Structure 1
Amino acid sequence: MLGFTRYISRTGPAKATFVGGLRKQRERRTGFNPHSQLVKALKADIAFRTGGSYLGGVVDLVKDRWKPLYESLRAGARTYLTSLGDPEQITLIQTRDALASVGPLAVKINPHFGLRFADGHREAVRIHFDEEPPNPELLTAMLHLMARHMEQILPDAEPVLVDLRRGVTHRLSPAARPGDVESWLAGEAAAFTAMWSTTAA
Structure 2
Amino acid sequence: MTAPVTTTGSVPYATLLSFTRYVGRTGPRKASFVGGLRRQRESGHGFNPHGQLVKALKADIQFRTGGTYLNAVVEQVNPRWKPLYEAVVPGALRYLESIPTPVEVTPTRDALCMIGTLPVKINPHFGLRFADGHGEAVRLHFDEDAPLAEAAVATLHLMGRNMDLVLPNAVPVLVDLRRGDVLRAGSQKGDEVERWLAGEAAAFSAMWVA
Which of the five TM-score ranges fits, normalised by the shorter chain? Answer: over 0.9
> Where do 5+ consecutive residues of structure 1 fail to align?
none
Q: How does 1:1-201 map to 2 (within 5 A)?
A: 1-86=16-101, 89-173=102-186, 175-198=187-210
Structure 1 length normalisation: TM-score? 0.95
- How many equivalent pairs are there? 195
2:100 and 2:169 map into 1 onto residues whose CA distance is 21
Task: Using the TM superposition, give the Cα deviation of residue 56 of structure 1 relative to its aligned residue in structure 2, in angstroms.
Answer: 0.7
Task: Using the TM superposition, give the Cα deviation of residue 167 of structure 1 relative to its aligned residue in structure 2, in angstroms.
Answer: 0.4
Give the root-mean-square deviation of aligned CA atoms: 0.8
Bigger fraction of residues in helix: 1
- Letter of the 1:181 counterpart: V
Task: Using the TM superposition, give the Cα deviation of residue 156 of structure 1 relative to its aligned residue in structure 2, in angstroms.
Answer: 1.0
1:141-198: CA deviation from partner (whole Å, max 9, x where unpaired): 110000001000000101000000000000000x211111111101000000000011
Q: Is the partner of 1:130 in helix, strand or coil?
A: coil
2:144 and 2:35 map into 1 onto residues whose CA distance is 21
Q: Which residue of 1 aligns with 2:6?
A: none
Q: Is the partner of 1:120 in helix, strand or coil?
A: coil
Aligned-residue sequence identity (percent) comes to: 63
- Letter of the 1:167 counterpart: G
Q: What stretches of structure 1 move > 4 A for 4+ residues in a row?
A: none
2:28 and 2:145 map into 1 onto residues whose CA distance is 19
- Letter of the 1:177 counterpart: K
1:2-49: CA deviation from partner (whole Å, max 9, x where unpaired): 111100000111101111111111122111000000000000111111
